[in-house]
Amino acid sequence: MTETGSTGASGRTGLLDQLEALATILAASSLVAVVAVQAWQVFARYVLNDSPSWTEPLALVLIAVTAMMGAAVGVRRETHFSFPTFANAAPPTVRAVCRAVARLAMLVLGGGLAVYGAILMLDSFNVPMAGAPLPVGLKFAPVAVGGALIVVFALERLVKAFREAKPAAAHGPDEEF
C-alpha cells in the first residue's frame, strides 16, 4: 500500500488512494449539490411562491453523503476528531498504543455504522420517502457505505502500523513510531 497521495514505482496510485479520492469527490460534489438544492428551495419559495417538497429529503441524503465520505477520508488521513495532546507528549511506546487504540475504535465504529446502516437501508428501501419520489432506505446508504470505507481505511492504518512497528522493535524502544 502506498502513502496517501503518493504513487508507486509504476506511477500509479493504489486502490485505497483511488477510493480516498472517490470519497473526497463524492463529499465535495454532494456538498455543492446541497447548496444548489437549498438555493432552488429558497428561489422557489420566495420568488415562485411554490415551495417544492423534494428539496428537504434530498438535502438530508446529500448531507449524509458529505458527512460519511468526509469521515472516511478523515480516518484514512488520520485527521479525524481526536485528543492528540497526551499522545504527542507520551513516550513512543505509549504513543503507538494510543494510535492503535484510536485505529481500533475507528474500526469498530465503522463496522457498526456499516452493519446497522445496511440493515436500516435494506429494511426501509421499499418505503417511499415523504415529499420525494425516493425510497427511505436511500437515507441510510451513505451510512452503510461510509462505515465500510471507515473499516477499510482503519484496517489499512492498523496493518501499516504493525508492519512499521516490526523493524522499529529491532532498533530499540527509543526509536520514533
pLDDT in tens, 119-129: 999 999 999 99
Which domain, by its residues, includes 101? 15-171
Number of domains composing the chain:
1
Q: Give me the chain's average pLDDT, please.
A: 85
CB 145 within 8 A of CB 63: no
CA nearest neighbour of 76 among 22, 146, 156, 140: 156
Q: What is the pLDDT of residue 80?
A: 74
Tally of CA atoms within 13 A in the half-sphere of 43 that contains its CB:
6
Q: Is the pLDDT of residue 82 over 90?
A: no
Query: What DSSP line would sit under 120-136, residue for residue?
Result: HHHHTTTSBPTTSSSBG
| Residue 77 maps to a domain | yes
Question: How far is Cα 75 from Cα 78, in angstroms, rounded to an integer?
Answer: 5
Report the SS3 class of residue 53.
coil
Phi/psi region, residue 11 (left: phi>0; alpha: psi -120 to 50; beta: rest), is left
| Residue 24 maps to a domain | yes
